[in-house]
Chains A and B, each alone.
Chain A
């Protein structure tokens, strides 16, 4: 039982990171129909940025703040310089643009930073906290707490502020949103900025556990994309559930079956789920219009 609990804790920790990345995918997808393959690179920018700013002598909160702002700037530039000029292009072309952006970000990062793995010291020490026969690292609580806080903040923002409702309106119907006077361009920029901020924050809190390197974004992108699709693309609740599920499945596979194939099982499960629920767990049943 204690082993089960132990695995569940680490699964939820990893899952929380995936959930944040999946939420970033969802935000951008809802606002602009773009699948952003540079999403995982925001996580890297958050982690690497904090590592290098702290090495330059800044305190953790300041370094983290600057790194997140940097990621937001990258997100805004990505939207302004790469996505906006290609408006109206086919989905595959848009995917290729974001993949190009991801390669570009990695390329620039290995010049600005380096090619080594880096870590951050855990925020509140490394003393494990005993819980029901198992232990949990304080950093895991940081990760889960940050994820929870961001999800709640995002929910409140979307449901209870005028700007948030404008985002939802744009997601529901861009033309109609434009017609009622919503500044759609601003909403799109906001979606990219918010996604970048969430990814980067996930990167800051996750780095003490996962380590970071210039090319670590690809793995996060794949897992986050998988989580978003598992939940049903475009559904924020689905993104969070999908992220947690993939984190848990991965960890339990590694714990009970084989650590070599933990990544495979996550993707295998997506294949199986999509066979029976072609639009994901929480996807809307859409009827094709002819």
Chain B
């Protein structure tokens, strides 16, 4: 039992099973769309799991990278006449490149200083998307053309469900492989002590930068998928509150746990949908729940549960 709990494949298999089950029980296409949103946000949050959970570096501006990916898919086809799928890839590359350029200097900062630097980056990206009206459509955003996957136009809730689910499975597989690789071990080592890691011969700044770039690429791909699925994108995607949501997903589920990240994303995507019935109270309940979870399960849902189960097993 313990072996199953600790196996690298367990979260992947569990995730695939859930993905296969949801369409059977989802009553309407609205529910499928919400599920697809969960997979997309899980993908964005997975990148942060690598950065925060493995490497221990915080980013309060990660929605900025999501915005870059999203607007690449929106701007490329509309303004330059490029293929949307190509733009998804270009957006990921661009996002990674920007992360590399920005990350080199700011990842030298530590703790709260890194937090404000990444936050500043996110705010600047959101402002640019907001203000360059000719390019981005300004505060009203812009519409996004459909993605064509090898001649197949991706439309409809069910198709998007499978595309997003597939993207998340690939992302989760890569994340789990990174965790088990020498780089993953190096990241965890520098998470515990940068000095000790450097002493053991790990190039600390190079590894941190790698984690930052990977996280940015995850967010950009998720942003691109989000834009293409919704057919519309606004600067709200890159906002500070969005960055906060991404961090909350990672922490509520469990810092460093892939399955936990998906759980955290599901929680924060589904909750507002169920709360729309209470409209006025939505924000109050959301804030209260984040506080309660963080106070009583500071390790996050999955690690806390796992510890409880392992304790009871012989």
Interface residues of A (CB under 8 A from B): 35, 82, 85-86, 89-93, 95-97, 99-108, 110-111, 218, 222, 225-226, 229, 233, 260-261, 263-264, 267-268, 270-271, 274-275, 278-280, 288, 290
Contact = CB atoms under 8 A, between A and B. Distances in A.
Contacts of A101: 287, 291
Contacts of A105: 287
B283 interface: yes
A111 B279 CA distance: 10
B156 interface: no
Given A92-B247, A278-B113, A104 B288 contact: yes
A86 B281 contact: no
A99 B290 contact: yes
Interface stretch (B16-24, B83-91, B120-128): B120-128
Interface of B: 52, 58, 105-106, 108-113, 115-117, 119-121, 123-124, 127-128, 131, 193, 195-196, 240-241, 244, 247-248, 251, 255, 280-291, 294-295, 298
B195 A290 contact: yes
B199 to A, nearest CB: 9
Contacts of B131: 260-261
Interface of B is mostly: helix
Contact of B127 (A102, A108, A260, A290): A260
A268 B120 contact: yes
A226 B294 contact: no
Nearest to B244: A99
Nearest to B52: A92
6 contacts: A100-B288, A225-B116, A225-B119, A261-B131, A271-B105, A290-B196
A31 to B, nearest CB: 15
A97 B248 CA distance: 10
Contacts of B110: 278
Max count, chain B CB within 10 A of own CB: residue among A96, A102, A108: A96
Contacts of B251: 92-93, 96
A100 B298 contact: no
Nearest to B110: A278
B240 to A, nearest CB: 7
A101 B291 CA distance: 7
Given A93-B251, A100-B288, A278-B113, A86 B298 contact: yes
A271 B125 CA distance: 13
Contact of B294 (A100, A274, A290): A100
Given A86-B298, A100-B291, A107-B287, A229 B240 contact: no
B195 A95 contact: no
Given A274-B117, A278-B109, A107 B291 contact: no
Contacts of B247: 92, 96
Contact of B113 (A93, A99, A107, A279): A279
Contacts of B283: 103-104, 106-107, 110
A267 B124 contact: yes
Contacts of B111: 91
> Which 5 pairs across A and B sit closest by C-beta, in order of nearness?
A104-B287, A107-B284, A107-B283, A103-B287, A100-B290
B120 A226 contact: yes
B230 to A, nearest CB: 23
A196 B286 CA distance: 23
A106 B287 contact: yes
Given A102-B287, A104-B287, A229 B127 contact: no
Given A102-B287, A222-B240, A263 B123 contact: yes
A97 B145 CA distance: 39
B287 A267 contact: no
Nearest to B239: A218
A9 B296 CA distance: 47
